[in-house]
Amino acid sequence: MWLRTCTPSISVIIPTLNRCAILPRALDSILSQTVLVDEIIVIDNGSTDRTIPMLESEYPRVIILNEKKRGVSAARNKGINYAKGTWIALVDSDDAWLPLKLEKQLQHSEKNQGHRLIHTDEVWYRYGKQVNQSKKHEKSGGDIFEQCLRLCCISPSSTFIHKSLFEDIGRFDEDLPACEDYDLWLRICAREEVLYVNEPLTVKHSDCPNQLSKQYWGMDRFRIMSLEKILSQKFLRKNQERATLRILVQKIKIMINGAIKRDNKSIIKLYSPKLEKWESVILNEL
């Protein structure tokens, strides 16, 4: 029996949609951990393949929650709300962990008590071949709020999160169809430092056709939504606010310049007033 109670308790949350063929890779990597977990929660987002029969047959101790097709944020949030563990470990259904992943994160949490988010380095595979990460995807720990402004600096599948953090800061924003992880890490990193395990213990695969990054054009538009939201909530320190404004204006300019090249007048019309507004805020700050 792989399921047992351990201290501290750990809940693993996996959202999935029609990933019957690759979901076992993620599950087997959890079962191969040197630290045993209390529960594995799979939130099925409306699969029409054999995901549910496969789970019931091959992984009978996995907890299956059914969710209408409302997106990955709603699925993760449902799992977080259900979870009994003190710590929450997220993993996407197309990713996997190396065996020491949870053990290393627990060791870091014991040595650095008070930190509530611990992430790891990762290794990337595309169609079965390892690929090198670019410099901009380099991971780190500590006060990383400004690094998180440009792009997502933490992989959900690498995270180990104390459940109290969700209670204090909130869950994934279900109004964001993509970049929901970018949004959550910004809200967390604006308030506290994170720990980083500088070992590639998370395995990312980018060979699945229905990944969010492949479903939406112009991912920066969702980051713009997140940045505008975080500015409106008025909890940033002054230096954080200035850095957020600077990146927000850069991303709006990118959207407008791309629209100009494509002669997309609707996008120009939508983002030009935003650019004027936030550039005015920056001028007033000077």
CATH no., domain 10-211: 3.90.550.10
98 closest CA partner among 154, 141, 22, 157: 157
Q: What is the pLDDT of residues 151-196, one digit of tens each?
A: 999 999 999 999 999 999 999 999 999 999 999 999 999 999 999 9
Amino acid identity at 110: E
Query: In percent, how much of the chain has pLDDT > 70?
Result: 94
Assess whether pLDDT exceeds 80 at residue 86: yes
Query: What DSSP string describes 6-51?
Result: -SS-EEEEEEESS-TTTHHHHHHHHHT-SS--SEEEEEE-S--SSH
Q: Give me the pLDDT at residue 5, please.
A: 43
Token code pair at residue 206: 């980018």
Q: Give me the pLDDT at residue 286, please.
A: 62
The alpha-helical segments, DSSP class H, found in 121-237 are 145-150, 163-169, 180-189, 212-215, 220-232
- The mean predicted confidence, pLDDT, of the chain is 93
- The domain segmentation of the chain, as residue ranges, is 10-211, 220-285
Range 108-128 average pLDDT: 94
28 closest CA partner among 98, 87, 119, 103: 98
Q: What is the pLDDT of residues 42-78, one digit of tens each?
A: 999 989 999 999 999 999 999 999 988 788 999 999 9
Note whether 96 and 29 are within 8 A (CB).
Answer: yes
Token code pair at residue 57: 């047959």
Q: What is the pLDDT of residues 224-256, one digit of tens each?
A: 999 999 999 999 999 999 999 999 999 999 999
Q: Give me the pLDDT at residue 108, please.
A: 96
Tell me the whole-structure pTM to 2 decimals: 0.92
Range 268-277 average pLDDT: 97
